[in-house]
Amino acid sequence: MNARTLLKSLAMPLALLAIVLFFAIREPAFIGPRNLTQLLIEFSIIATLALGMFMVILTGNIDLSVGSGVGLVGGIAAVFIIKHNLPAPVALGAALLAATLLWTLMGALIVKQRIPSFIITLGGLLIFKGLFWLVIENSTVPVAPGDSDNLYSLLTTYYAPANLGLGLVAALVLFLGWLSWRGRAARLSHKLAVPSAGVAVGKFAASAAGLFSLVIVCNHFRGIPLPLLILGGAAFTVYFLTQHTPFGRYLYAIGGNEEAAVLSGIAVDRVIIGAFALMGVAVALTGFMTTAYSGNSTTTVGDLMELDAIAACVIGGTALKGGRGTVWGVLFGALIMTALLNGMTLLAVSPELKFIARGSVLALAVWMDVRFSRA
């Protein structure tokens, strides 16, 4: 392993370690069970949106409208529940359907009219922001806590019992181990390169230890929060789609070389539209969690979340030009972004410095992407 490859593989763990050590030294409560649980809720929100962005970026496109969409979809559901007294499942289902249709239409407009996704989604950013403010009438729509029929309330009040959390993680570790073994066996059968057995076992053991440590920390507070379970389901779905289905292979192929993908018979337009439709689902889930976590739907919900999602993808090794990236990298990138934002909030850093830090991280991530792409 050469120095450049080693640096690339260790950059994210070292960056996360440095961030954690800095904030833990400045404020010991940063690594306390309560704050770590809150950090995991924030991480779940950013990472869910980043997973949707990941699939769009894999095709060589980008979506700048997701932050406004998060506010709009969460606002629609909140207004349906609070002002129109619709049952929560109906309201959330309607908002989810609306988000899926909107992003499907955006994807169709991009591929059918051959308009750059940057332009269409930039327009979507403004349109969705305006619609969001109209829906909530430029006011604050509270999410009533403690209402047994209010699923918004459950998103912030439900924590999985300790034994359930440990059982879920044990099942997940076993399933991931089986998937890894199956993928390794398939590559060997086709005489493709694979990491050494020691490296593979080491990575699996580290992942398993991290997951169990996560549950133990959560159990010292209240248990695994519901948003983290939602993220787990979303991450597994995206991982399975991108690594074990033709659709996932097509995403990588289109981002790697769209012309070659067309010549090989891939239905490029349908795959890109599908990626945007899944982005809509991710926006809806993030909108529900963000609104619940905020406690209300107000005009600032979703602000700049598109930048956090893009930064999480790029920090995690996803190439902005498409064709390269992993779900694990996206999750790691989202964790770095969340730790940075959570730590600054805990230290009462001024909003001005927060903006500067977020912008600097995004610029650094893009620079690293360009730098390593040239290598």
pLDDT number for residue 374: 58
pLDDT number for residue 146: 46
Q: How far is 129 from 345, CA to CA, in rounded Å?
A: 25
Rounded (to 5) percent helix, strand, coil in the chain = 80, 0, 20
What single DSSP character describes residue 221? T
Q: How far is 236 from 241, CA to CA, in rounded Å?
A: 8
Phi, psi of 297, deg, nearest 5:
-100, 110
pLDDT number for residue 43: 95
pTM of the model: 0.90
**What is the sign, positive or negative, of the torsion defined by CA atoms of 103, 105, 106, 107?**
positive
Q: How far is 215 from 306, CA to CA, in rounded Å?
A: 29
Q: How far is 135 from 119, CA to CA, in rounded Å?
A: 24
What residue segments make up the domains of the chain, in order of their start? Answer: 3-161+223-374, 162-222
pLDDT string in tens for the chain (375-residue length): 455 665 666 677 788 888 889 999 999 989 888 898 899 999 999 999 999 999 999 999 999 999 999 999 999 999 998 888 888 889 999 999 999 999 999 999 999 999 999 999 999 999 999 999 999 998 888 876 544 445 666 777 788 888 888 898 898 889 888 888 887 888 788 777 777 778 778 878 888 888 888 888 888 888 889 999 999 999 989 998 998 899 999 999 999 998 899 988 899 999 999 999 999 999 999 999 999 888 888 999 998 899 999 999 998 889 888 888 999 899 999 999 999 999 999 998 888 888 888 888 878 777 776 666 655
Q: How far is 301 from 71, CA to CA, in rounded Å?
A: 5
pLDDT number for residue 144: 62
What single DSSP character describes residue 32? S
Q: Decide: 140 and 296 in contact? Cβ < 8 Å.
A: yes
Q: How far is 57 from 34, CA to CA, in rounded Å?
A: 34
Phi, psi of 109, deg, nearest 5:
-65, -40
CA dihedral of 252, 255, 256, 257, whole degrees rounded to 10: 120
Q: Which fold has domain 3-161+223-374?
A: ABC transporter involved in vitamin B12 uptake, BtuC (1.10.3470)
pLDDT number for residue 279: 97
The C-alpha angle 59, 64, 68, rounded to 5 degrees, equals 135
pLDDT number for residue 6: 58
Q: How far is 37 from 40, CA to CA, in rounded Å?
A: 5
Q: Decide: 136 and 77 in contact? Cβ < 8 Å.
A: no
